[in-house]
Structure 1
Amino acid sequence: MNFYITYGTFGFLQQIQNKHEDRELLIFAGEGQAIILEETESATIFQQPNEYLVLSRLGHLSESDFQVLITIPTSEDHKYQLEKQLEMYQPELDDNSEYHSYRLLKSTHQNVYKVLLGFTSREAYEDYKKSSAFRNNLSLEATKPLAGAATVHTPYIEQYFYPSDDLSEE
């Protein structure tokens, strides 16, 4: 499964979504920018996407969910170990009714992994961050030993994206 991410203004991304109604394109609003996602077996319609392979997937992505996109960099030396550590983590969506989706993504062009988490709200995510599952598997502290920080230019980042429903009504 392939996963594509493109950033831009909400209006521009909405034009792409409207032009390709036959595709499942999901838009979310972030701080200063919006994001559009496509998960597909086929080629993307995006012109210059960030491309990823889906290594793990649970749940259904929904435009009505709050999304967290965690960027976890690594080095060539640590890539295999980090990937195995991340693949071992399989969240229990059934144990938390506010946790809706999970994707582990591997960049096709860089030594970077992304984790996309879907929750009912930011508060639900903040509660999840307090769990041992998050601390032991996805936190900066859990991934830092395999980050190869001295040679990596991309830092560990958490980006927050909100449902775009409110924006489309303006």
Structure 2
Amino acid sequence: MNAYMTNGTLDFLKKLPAKHPDVTFYFMKEGTSTLVYYEGKGKNIFASGRAYEIVTENGTLREDGFVVMNNIPVADEGKATFEDKFKQRQQSVENMKGFQAFRLLRPNKGNTYVVMTQWASEDDYENWKNSDQFKQAHKDGADTKPPAYFLDQPFVTNYHMIEVD
């Protein structure tokens, strides 16, 4: 299964469901930036979008909630190790209050993976970040430099799901 996303203006992007009625689009907003995401097996319908393979997933995406995307540039020689760490890690996040969905997305082009989680609310995400489960899941990265297979500093983008008319 693949995942696709693109950014643009809300006025332009909200025309997509009418053009592609068979696709379930998820609309997200961060400040003035709008992002549209969908999953499928076919060709990318976005002219200037990003395409990913879904490596691992849990939960069901919803049209409401809060989305956190950790963008992690990984060197080619480190991709297998990076993916294995996620596959072996016990995903205690799934048991947290407000958890909705998790996706590990491998880029079809480039080296930046996306680790996406969706929460019922921003407060639920903050509660996860302050939990013992979060500390346990991230203990290997605490107070150390990023692994050698990270090409650059990871960065996080947060979005609020929005409904479009």
CA shift in 2, pair 1:129/1:54, >3 Å: same
Partner of 2:162: 164
Shift of 1:10: 1.5
CA distance in 2, matches of 1:94, 1:148: 27
CA distance in 2, matches of 1:146, 1:10: 37
CA shift in 2, pair 1:147/1:130, >3 Å: farther
For the residue of structure 1 that corresponds to 2:75, the secondary structure is coil
Kept in 1: contact 2:70–2:156 (CA 8 A) = yes
Shift of 1:92: 4.3
Partner of 1:42: 42
CA distance in 1, matches of 2:139, 2:48: 29
Q: How does 1:38-77 map to 2 (within 5 A)?
A: 38-77=38-77
Identity %: 26
Kept in 1: contact 2:97–2:124 (CA 8 A) = no
Deviations 1:91-133 (A, max 9, x none): 3466223001000000111222111101011111111112344
For the residue of structure 2 that corresponds to 1:124, the secondary structure is helix
CA shift in 2, pair 1:59/1:12, >3 Å: same
Shift of 1:52: 0.5
Kept in 2: contact 1:135–1:141 (CA 8 A) = no
Shift of 1:138: 5.8
Shift of 1:82: 1.4
Kept in 2: contact 1:100–1:119 (CA 8 A) = yes
Kept in 2: contact 1:93–1:100 (CA 8 A) = no
Query: Which structure 1 residue ranges, 5 or more long, are not aligned?
Result: none
Query: Comparing both structures, which one devotes a greater share of its residues to helix?
Result: 1
Kept in 2: contact 1:85–1:137 (CA 8 A) = no
CA shift in 2, pair 1:71/1:57, >3 Å: same
Partner of 1:104: 104
CA distance in 2, matches of 1:137, 1:146: 16
Partner of 1:95: 95
CA shift in 2, pair 1:94/1:140, >3 Å: closer
Kept in 2: contact 1:28–1:35 (CA 8 A) = yes
Kept in 2: contact 1:86–1:137 (CA 8 A) = no
CA distance in 2, matches of 1:47, 1:137: 37
> Which consecutive aligned stretches of 4+ in structure 1 deviate over 6 angstroms post-superposition?
none
CA shift in 2, pair 1:162/1:46, >3 Å: same
Tell me the TM-score normalised to structure 2 length.
0.86
Name the amino acid aligned to 2:12: F
For the residue of structure 2 that corresponds to 1:145, the secondary structure is coil
